[in-house]
Structure 1
Amino acid sequence: MEQSLPERKAFYQILTRKMTVLILIVSFFPMILTTGILFYRFNLTYTEKIQAHISELVQRHTQNIDTFLLEKLGNIQFIARYFDSKPQIPTQFLQTNLTLLKNEYGDVFTDLGLVNENGIQFAYEGPFKLENADYSKAEWFLNAVDKPFYISDVFAGLRGHPHFIIAIKVKSNDSDYILRSTINFGAFNSLVENIHIGETGIAFIVNSKGQLQTKTDMGFNPSIIASMVDRRGHNKNETVFEKKHDASGNQFLCVTSMLKNIDWIMVFRQDISDAFHDLWKTQLLTLIIFVFGCIAILSVAFMLPRNIVELISSADKKSEVMNKQVIESGKLATIGELAAGIAHEINNPVAIMVEEAGWIEDLLEEEDLNGSENFDEFKRALRQINTQGKRCKEITHKLLSFARKTDSTINDVQINDAIKEIVSLTAQMARYNNVMIKTKLNQGIPYIRISPSELQQVILNLINNAIDAMEKSGGTITIETNVSRIEKNQLVVSIEDDGPGIPRDYLDRIFDPFFTTKAVGKGTGLGLSICYGIIQKMGGEIDVYSQVGIGTKFRIWIPFQEDLMEEKKNDTDNQTKDNQTKDNQINI
């Protein structure tokens, strides 16, 4: 049952929506899932890589600073052991060893001093006037009294600028002394300032109270520094990686590592935006690609179903037209059978009429009616009846002949005769459409072995197409036969008209099935396709040349056999000899 137009539109809309939803689900779900997994895994891997890289860097620099402090501590311990071994003149001892240290290490060691158990520096060698300086209340002295060695925090002290002290307990003349040395803050600070990663990654050292032990331009307040170096749970070999916020709310990375020989902590600080700059660029690029991919999927999801549905709709329309054409073809086939039956029925009375007219003519010859007034008129009327009857019989004979030749029996055909028969059959329709059919038939055309009915179908179809093209405007159709001068053993049949011509865009599709330029219902689009198939089956070719406003020319190339040509020539010669023999016998 055929659907109405609203029902069909509703069906197409539902089909479009279903296809769109299916494309969106099938496309978006795998893409989002895959992108999410890759995004998460890449982010996790890159974060671990950054953490490992920074932690390794901080650990390595922590070891370098530990090595620096341990080396300087060892230098002072060596001097202390030498002072313990034998009595020394304190001032001379300090002067000699400070000179040796400066020669070996440059300005790392600023000065040397000996402090008694009361905190009075009784001997000093260095650039400052610190003889008899009182350190009894200094924090470093109080911490160094009870320890074999001590490294102080950085402080300003009596000299007024940052420094720290390495103190070693020594014994001489049964008295306890402290050998102290000031370490150049600039040399120590340069070790830490050289640690840089990116644009914001810097390092510094703080003590257990969160007080800076190196220079930094970060401007941290003590509470922020203390939060960065919370040592609870830290051990000497642990590097702690954390993410924190400063007072302005900016997020940064904080990596801390304990020094071994002093209660100090190495701190590395870098802004999150700087540390993960490359990661965020990659994520942004991924997001852009993802957005473009989504746009492409949406475009396909909304355009492709519409195009497919339009193609389906177009195919449905063509199918409907084809079904109507098939029905019309069935009607035409039925009408053809009916016409053949009618022609057969008409042929019988026409034959009787012709016979009776001949019989009356014979009677008139036998009777003595020569003197009759209307004798000549009778003779003329009978001749006219006889002539027109034979003509009717010839027309019905041709119509029956064409209607019955539906098989593809192969016979030897003289193509000129076939063309003459088709021209005579279409002459009346051509005259009705004001079309003149001219023939230029080469008399030297050989016989070809093909199906006569199929050849008639091809030529008739091409003639009818030319007549239809010229419509009521009229014109001329020229049919010509020749033996090809280019291709050996090929006959060429050309059918040319001076009609409106065929547009160039249509020429490549003219032999396609169901392609027609005629209005709906006037053509099936199968005629030229069938002709093309018939000619191909014969082993020949068909081509077309056309110019709009000038006309169209179809050429048919049909192969023939030399032996068939010789055979027909021999048959003709033998027939001629037989006729001559009969004539001689009659003369004798």
Structure 2
Amino acid sequence: MAHHLLMEVYGRCDFAERKNLNGHEWKDMQTDNRKSYDRLSRNIALTVITVSIAPLILVGGLIFDQFRSIYRAKVYAHLAEVVDKHKHNVNTFLSEKLSEVQYLNKAFTYEQLTESDFLEQTLKGMQQQYGRIFVDLGVIDKRGRQVAYAGPFDLLGADYSMADWYLNSRDKVTGISDVFMGLRQSPHFIIAINKDEQGRKWTLRATIDFLAFSNLVENIRIGETGYAYILNKNGVFQTKPPVTRNKDLVLTPFETIQNSSSAEGVTIQLSDGSDGEIYITVSSHIKNGDWKLVYQQNSSDAFSAMIRSESFTLVIFLLGGLGIVGMALILSRKLVTRFKVIDQENEMMNRQMVETGKLASIGELAAGIAHEINNPVAIMIEEAGWVNDLMEDEGREMSCYQEITRALEQVRTQGGRCKDITHKLLSFARQTDSRVAEVSLPALIEEVVEISMQQAKYAQVVLSLDMDRNMPLVRGSVSELQQVFLNLINNAIQAMETKGGKLTITCRAEDGQAYVSVADTGPGIPAANLSRIFDPFFTTKPVGKGSGLGLSICFGLIHQMDGEIEVESGVGQGAKFIIRLPFPPTGNDQELEKGD
């Protein structure tokens, strides 16, 4: 898609160059180009967003689902384990108390237990040993009347013949009643041991402290809404009823969780509450199935850590998604902007190629003109010499002899200068000699300066030369070196042509190399352009006034000679181009190289 749109843009730009468009057509074409770039930017952004976010959503969703499943299973297993552990605690508590009462029934006779003092001492001993879990003790005859009692209440002679706990336990060896109010009007339950001794049937009963028993269950507290309680077969609370925000809460089970934990006989159900919330109910039978231990908790409370993690993860995903979208938009805009710049550079390059062709044509024309001028200048010099010879032979008696002789000498001198200039121009334009030779840089630079002298005078540029004429020769192409220095000098003069300035050219030997610097006092080069100053076709001049190839050619020619060229500049600080060229090896160096 991007390639298609770019080809479309290139085609339109090329079409615009091949046709003469009026203002409205050009404006329409520019609008279409902008739309093409905008469409390209959108397509790139959508592609990046889709490719980046789609895997993120798929992987994130998979991890999210796996995390939720694992966490739910972990919570269910934990709750099942808690309920199973407390189930064993409650069964153990009841079994221990039953065993302790059975011990009394086996260890003592009916006569001993029916003595008030003995029964009182026995109760105190049990309370000292086991705590005040045992509230009282009593002996009941076969008619259901309590014939002996030890405890805080006045229950001696109480008739239990019609009490539910008595009726339910009289046909069993042992029995544990449900929690009930009874004659004392406080919740309690009774452990009864029946015994038939020498034809006499009697029952030993013990009352268990309700608070001690209830605390076993009430201690199961998880989260803010988790609580536990015990129900009998009829659904009556055997511990304190839970205090909930909604006292009329009704639960309707809708799903039973298949428990995979090690806790056997534990049932986990999800229920819809009448308050609109979902509740987790974990239950298990205790006391041989007569009671049920139930744990209940709001699911949002049970999974609060998971919900927080999910919320935090969702926020991270959203921020990551927004980051991807933002980066996709930024990168697409930067990329399309770069495409625009490339298009503009290509368009400018095409124009500069045309300008370069024009410059090449102008160079050939200059070479032809220099050649044509060279012939009449040579004739002028010869004729001036011939006239001077005539004046020597026959014109000495003329009163204006000296003036004519001076004028002829000036003609010869200036003609020779014109011939020298045209010869140099012809050599430079045609690059007639690219052979490597030993060159004196100071002399070569002075020749190039003579060519640019008139241009510097018009631009009000003062030339300053600092030449070390005793420095060693360098090896290089005369025409290529001329081209490098002429380009640098002309660029410096053009940079100062609006306000004038000073051009300083230094040439000396430094650190075993030839050092040449061309420094001007012009406006300088911005830091942003320094890194691109030697790039082909890069120019800050208006179209038609520069091809952007001069410094690039200089860079290539200097590096072909194993030299270096660099620039130092800043806005308002002028520009300084530095060239370093190696000296050819001496005889000793050559012998060392051969020895190596």
TM-score, normalised relative to structure 2: 0.83
Alignment pair present for 1:249 and 2:281:
no
Query: What code does the residue aligned with 1:398 have?
Result: K
2:363–2:430 Cα contact (<8 Å) kept: no
* Residue aligning to 2:114: 90
The one of 460, 479, 503 aligned to 1:434: 460
Structure-2 separation of matches of 1:288 and 1:200: 27
Q: C-alpha distance in 1, partners of 2:467/2:244?
A: 111
Deviations 1:385-424 (A, max 9, x none): 6555444433322221222325531111122321222122
2:364 to 313, 319, 337: 337
Measure how far apart 1:547 and its partner are.
6.1
Q: Which structure 2 residues correspond to residues 170-569 of structure 1 after superposition, within 5 A?
A: 170-218=195-243, 237-261=264-288, 263-356=290-383, 358=385, 386=412, 389-405=415-431, 408-484=434-510, 487=511, 489-503=512-526, 506-507=529-530, 509-546=532-569, 549=572, 551-561=574-584, 563=586
Residues 1:123 and 2:148 are matched in the alignment: yes
Change (3 A) 1:144 1:532: same
Please report how far the alpha carbon of residue 124 of structure 1 lies from its aligned counterpart in structure 2 after TM superposition.
3.0
CA distance in 1, matches of 2:250, 2:282: 12
* Cα distance change on mapping 1:438 and 1:216 into 2, 3 Å: same
Aligned equivalents of 1:439, 1:340: Cα separation in 2: 28
Question: Contact conserved, 2:233 with 2:290, CA < 8 A, in 1?
Answer: yes
1:19–1:89 Cα change, 3 Å: closer
The 8 Å contact of residues 447 and 564 in structure 1, kept in 2 or not, is answered as no
Residue type of the partner of 2:552?
S
State whether structure 2 residue 89 is matched by structure 1 residue 64.
Answer: yes
The answer on whether the counterparts of 1:340 and 1:403 sit within 8 Å (CA) in structure 2 is: yes
Task: Decide which moves more: 118-127 or 501-510.
Answer: 501-510
- Worse-superposed segment, 2-11 or 66-75: 2-11
Distance 1:472 1:288, change over 3 A: closer
Hey, what's the Cα distance between the residues in 2 that align with 1:547 and 1:142?
A: 112
| Contact 1:199 1:274 survives alignment (8 Å) | yes
For 2:515, give the aligned amino acid: V
Paired residue secondary structure (2:516): strand
Is contact 1:540–1:556 with CA below 8 Å preserved after alignment?
A: yes
Letter in 1 for 2:239: T
For the Cα contact (< 8 Å) 1:91–1:125, is it kept in 2?
no
Following superposition, the deviation at residue 53 of structure 1 comes to 1.1
Deviations 1:96-141 (A, max 9, x none): 6445433432322223333333322233333322233222221112
1: distance between equivalents of 2:73 and 2:585?
Answer: 90
Partner of 1:583: none
Structure 2 Cα separation of the partners of residues 238 and 432 of structure 1: 110
Residue aligning to 2:131: 106
Give the Cα separation in 2 of the matches to 1:127 and 1:340: 137
Distance 2:123 2:589 in 1: 134
- The CA RMSD measured in Å over matched residues stands at 3.5
Change (3 A) 1:47 1:407: farther
Helix, strand or coil for the counterpart of 2:135?
A: strand
- Give the aligned residue type for 2:114: P
Structure-2 change in CA distance of 1:283 and 1:277 (3 Å): same
Q: Which residue of the partner structure matches residue 10 of structure 1? A: 35
Per the TM alignment, residue 504 of structure 1 is displaced from its structure 2 partner at its CA by 5.2
Following superposition, the deviation at residue 469 of structure 1 comes to 0.8
Quote the residue 2:102 is aligned against.
Answer: 77
Structure 1 window deviating more from structure 2 (371-380 vs 344-353): it is 371-380
Is it true that 1:132 corresponds to 2:157 in the alignment?
Answer: yes
In the TM superposition, what is the alpha-carbon distance from 1:217 to its structure 2 partner?
4.0
Q: Is the 8 A contact 1:210 1:222 kept in 2?
A: no
Equivalent residue number for residue 45 of structure 1: 70
Q: Secondary structure at the match of 2:514?
A: strand
Change (3 A) 1:391 1:173: closer
1:473–1:197: structure 2 CA closer, same or farther, 3 Å change rule? closer
Q: Distance in 2 between matches of 1:361 and 1:101?
A: 158
Residue 248 of structure 1 deviates from its aligned partner by 3.0
- 1:108–1:187 contact (8 Å) kept in structure 2: yes
The DSSP-based 3-state class of the residue aligned with 2:519 is strand
The change in CA–CA distance for 1:456 and 1:208 in structure 2 (over 3 A counts) is: same
Unaligned runs of 5+ residues in structure 1 are: 568-588
Question: What is the DSSP-based 3-state SS (H/G/I as helix, E as strand, rest coil) of the residue aligned with 1:111?
Answer: strand
Question: Shift in Å at residue 41 of structure 1?
Answer: 1.2
Q: How far is 1:88 from its partner? A: 5.8
Report if the CA contact (8 A) 1:70-1:261 is conserved: no
Cross-structure match for 1:570: none
CA distance in 2, matches of 1:100, 1:380: 155
For the Cα contact (< 8 Å) 1:448–1:564, is it kept in 2?
A: no
What is the letter of the counterpart of residue 335 of structure 1?
I
Say whether the 8 Å CA contact 1:501–1:549 is kept in structure 2.
yes
Shift of 1:292: 1.0
Q: Is the 8 A contact 1:207 1:263 kept in 2?
A: yes
Check conservation: 2:514, 2:581, Cα contact below 8 A. Answer: yes
Q: Secondary structure at the match of 2:276?
A: coil
Indicate conservation of the 8 Å contact 1:501/1:551, yes or no. Answer: yes
Of 149-158 and 136-145, deviating more is: 136-145
SS in 2 for 1:196: coil
C-alpha change, 1:309 and 1:457, in structure 2 (3 Å) is same
Larger radius of gyration: 1
Indicate if the aligned counterparts of 1:481 and 1:491 stay in contact, CA closer than 8 A.
Answer: yes
Query: Structure 1 161/225 Cα, relative in aligned 2: closer, same or farther at 3 Å?
Result: farther
Determine the C-alpha separation between the residues in 1 that align with 2:401 and 2:266: 143
Measure the CA separation in 1 of the matches of 2:169 and 2:311.
Answer: 57
Name the SS for the 2:463 alignment partner. Answer: strand
Deviations 1:499-536 (A, max 9, x none): 33444554555444444332333223332333233333
Q: Distance in 2 between matches of 1:221 and 1:462?
A: 93
The CA deviation at 1:434 is 3.3
Q: Aligned pair 1:151/2:181, yes or no? A: no
Higher alpha-carbon deviation: 42-51 or 538-547: 538-547
Give, in whole Å, the separation in 2 of the partners of 1:277 and 1:314.
54
- Contact 1:209 1:226 survives alignment (8 Å): no
Q: How many angstroms apart in 1 are the aligned matches of 2:374 and 2:430?
A: 15
| Residue 54 of structure 1, CA deviation | 1.4
Change (3 A) 1:290 1:75: same
Query: Comparing 171-180 with 252-261, which one deviates more in the overlay?
Result: 171-180
Matched with 1:29 is 54
Deviations along 1:544-567, one digit per CA (max 9) or x if unpaired, are 444655644433333324738999
Return closer, same or farther for 1:103/1:323 CA change in 2, 3 Å cut-off.
same
1:237–1:258 Cα contact (<8 Å) kept:
no
